[in-house]
Amino acid sequence: MARYLTYSNASEVLDSVYRASSLAENCLHRLVDSLAERSVLEECRTQLGELEVNGVFLFPFVPFASCAELELKLSKIDANFVQNLTITLSNLGALIFVLQQFAVLSNRKEFEGVFKEILRNFRALCWKQVPKEALLVLLVVVFRYAQKSRHYNAALYGDNVSFALGFFLYLCGLTEEFEVMNVFEMLQSHLIS
């Protein structure tokens, strides 16, 4: 990519940046729309009602049985719901990585403010658009993805899904709410013990 940035003119590079940004926006739209779908939220609210009282979790982490139950309910809405979300997160992660590389490697004056503008647009698209209860769906995605070989190789090859999930939660303003669910304790209790 460094050679591309060195030998391409500014308009070509900016065109590539905006194309990657547009594709990333499409991924964000799909994620927000999927997680805000009425039938999905109804299932999440029902599930969350069994896990908390007055907004306080009854468990140290979300039980595996709750994830499995929600996954089954989501598959009745759309058989590929979790898989499609995982693919979208993976694509988003790759595109954000490309945009980061453009931002790091390009030091042209023409690019000043471009990446801040892109990030502002992403944030405006997602901020407070995903209800808290929809985080249960992302928990199911993480749980299922953690059991795949691609996740085990993440330390060597990188992990688009985990990277994109963190970025998406940041854009939505839901990082702290997701941390309350103690994802890693849940994964450790089921996959390691």
pLDDT digits (tens, 9 = 90+) for 128-141: 899 988 998 988 88
Long-range residue pairs from 58-61, CB within 8 A, at least 24 positions apart, any chain: 60/182, 60/185, 61/181, 61/182, 61/183, 61/185, 61/186, 61/189
CA distance 57 to 52: 4
- Encode pLDDT of 105-124 as tens digits: 776 666 778 888 999 999 99
Which residues, at least 6 apart from 60, have a Cβ–Cβ distance to it below 8 Å?
182, 185
Among 15-24, 29-38, 159-168, name the most confident range: 29-38
Q: What is the mean pLDDT of the chain?
A: 82
CA distance 89 to 164: 6
Q: Which residue has the higher pLDDT, 45 or 58?
A: 45
Q: Which residue has the higher pLDDT, 1 or 57?
A: 57
pLDDT tier at 102 (50, 70, 90 boundaries)?
Answer: confident
92 and 168 Cβ atoms separated by less than 8 Å: yes
pTM of the model: 0.83
